[in-house]
Structure 1
């Protein structure tokens, strides 16, 4: 190789190393000036979520107390005579029907959870309990005449929906984990019958459970107690239709 080629090679290498040095220096000072590590930001986000959860639980506790005060006033009014007493009794009946008060009675309990073993060569999603599986069971119980339903302690009302955020099931904006316990108050024989007769519920509780190893337990329970709904009742997208 000629002297000219050696010099050309050395010059090219020198230029490459200079550019590389500039890039490394720029990256170092930029990282030093702007901390882009995910740690602090993640910690701030976790702290923010924790504060919001504490505030939400505090407001729920206050709301529970206010509703208890309203219930006492309504009971006092119900004992009075005339239109006020009749109105208070009607309000009490509507609250029971809408899930705003606790409910006691005979019913059934359905417990379902993910498969214990997932084969390595299979889709793991098939071995999990999903939101739509739970919705199918709840819908069947309503059709079977259930007077009240709860899922892991969350009471169902007209605005309740079962959703999935990632692998987490959400009910009344509360994250729930398995096993999932569905409690329904109503005629025990009718509720058991509808779960065996409804094609979708039968598929989840029998076919899927057998094929994918989902853990299912259905039993009759005397004296169930469902909690009152404790969430918000604010409707943002509702209008009164003119008669």
Structure 2
């Protein structure tokens, strides 16, 4: 009879008694975390490495030292160049002051000559004007005048800008709230048409030859720039002149500027206004005058 091989048991070995305590076993076998162990090993091998906090402190200190060096060098350079810049600035200031003084002197000379010419013209007008000399002098603006009238003050809007904007009613204006030369022309012409006998704008007496023009945003009267607010003085029947102007088309035009563009304006009747004489008068034409003693010219 053949003997059969022994049958091997396929059952698994019995579990360890401590199998149910694997977590506690692992903690006991690995009491130190692996990461800490590796770090400790590296420190032990290096031996001479600096702590990370000390390296950070050294880095911050080096950065502060570098910043201090840069600031020191910049301050030293500024201190060296300061005298040169101050000298150049002072030279520019001196040049500006000198040129301004020279311009003021020339302007005074021009004003003196203009007054002298105006005085001689008025003297000649009084001498040869006969009975109408005073009237002609008044109409020509050659003499100062005073009397009842109106005071009209016109100023830019509170919030104004320069340049750009839409045209104001196709009149070539910029919608900026600024008083323009065309505005002032209409105001002055409206006062003339309402019965004004003499007009001055910011102390500039207007004559039949006066021109109101613009240079950029500035208004020129006889080539002299005016600064807002613009004070217009007109001699005439105060209350009547004020009412007539406000009812005129030019007065309504000024009202539209107030309503639509914020331009400020006020008008009031005055018991007395004083207007200076025109700075100078230009004689355009001359003709012979028969004095009765022969032919001559004046």
Cα drift, residue 60 of structure 1: 2.1
- The reply on whether 1:214 has 2:214 as its aligned counterpart is no
- The reply on whether 1:91 has 2:133 as its aligned counterpart is yes
Partner of 1:64: 115
Cα drift, residue 125 of structure 1: 3.8
> Does the CA-based 8 Å contact 1:140-1:194 persist in structure 2?
no
- The reply on whether 1:182 has 2:224 as its aligned counterpart is no
Query: 1:97/1:158 Cα in 2 relative to 1: closer, same or farther (>3 Å)?
Result: same
**Distance (Å, rounded) in 2 between the aligned partners of 1:118 and 1:56:** 31
- The reply on whether 1:105 has 2:158 as its aligned counterpart is no
> Does the CA-based 8 Å contact 1:60-1:231 persist in structure 2?
no
Cα drift, residue 62 of structure 1: 3.5
> Does the CA-based 8 Å contact 1:107-1:186 persist in structure 2?
yes
Query: 1:45/1:165 Cα in 2 relative to 1: closer, same or farther (>3 Å)?
Result: farther
Unpaired runs of 5+ in structure 2?
1-90, 166-173, 288-298
Cα drift, residue 168 of structure 1: 0.6
Q: Pick from 152, 158, 162: which aligns with 1:116?
A: 158
- Secondary structure of the 1:54 match is helix
Cα drift, residue 219 of structure 1: 0.6
**Distance (Å, rounded) in 2 between the aligned partners of 1:90 and 1:162:** 29
User: Which stretch of structure 1 is more off in the superposition, 61-70 or 150-159?
Assistant: 61-70
TM-score (norm 2): 0.54
Query: 1:160/1:72 Cα in 2 relative to 1: closer, same or farther (>3 Å)?
Result: closer
Cα drift, residue 52 of structure 1: 5.2
User: 1:179-218 deviations in whole A, cap 9, x for unaligned?
Assistant: 00111001223321222222232122x2211222211111
Q: Pick from 202, 209, 223: which aligns with 1:173?
A: 223
Cα drift, residue 66 of structure 1: 5.4
> Does the CA-based 8 Å contact 1:107-1:187 persist in structure 2?
yes
**Distance (Å, rounded) in 1 between the aligned partners of 2:275 and 2:226:** 17
Partner of 2:63: none
Partner of 2:105: 54
> Does the CA-based 8 Å contact 1:111-1:218 persist in structure 2?
yes
> Does the CA-based 8 Å contact 2:153-2:232 persist in structure 1?
yes
**Distance (Å, rounded) in 2 between the aligned partners of 1:88 and 1:46:** 50
Cα drift, residue 158 of structure 1: 1.0
Partner of 1:19: none
Partner of 1:153: 203
- Secondary structure of the 1:175 match is strand
Cα drift, residue 165 of structure 1: 0.3
The aligned length equals 187
Partner of 2:279: 230
Query: 1:60/1:116 Cα in 2 relative to 1: closer, same or farther (>3 Å)?
Result: same
Partner of 2:14: none
Cα drift, residue 231 of structure 1: 2.9
> Does the CA-based 8 Å contact 1:146-1:184 persist in structure 2?
yes
Cα drift, residue 110 of structure 1: 0.6
RMSD: 3.4
User: Which stretch of structure 1 is more off in the superposition, 123-132 or 97-106?
Assistant: 123-132
**Distance (Å, rounded) in 2 between the aligned partners of 1:219 and 1:153:** 18
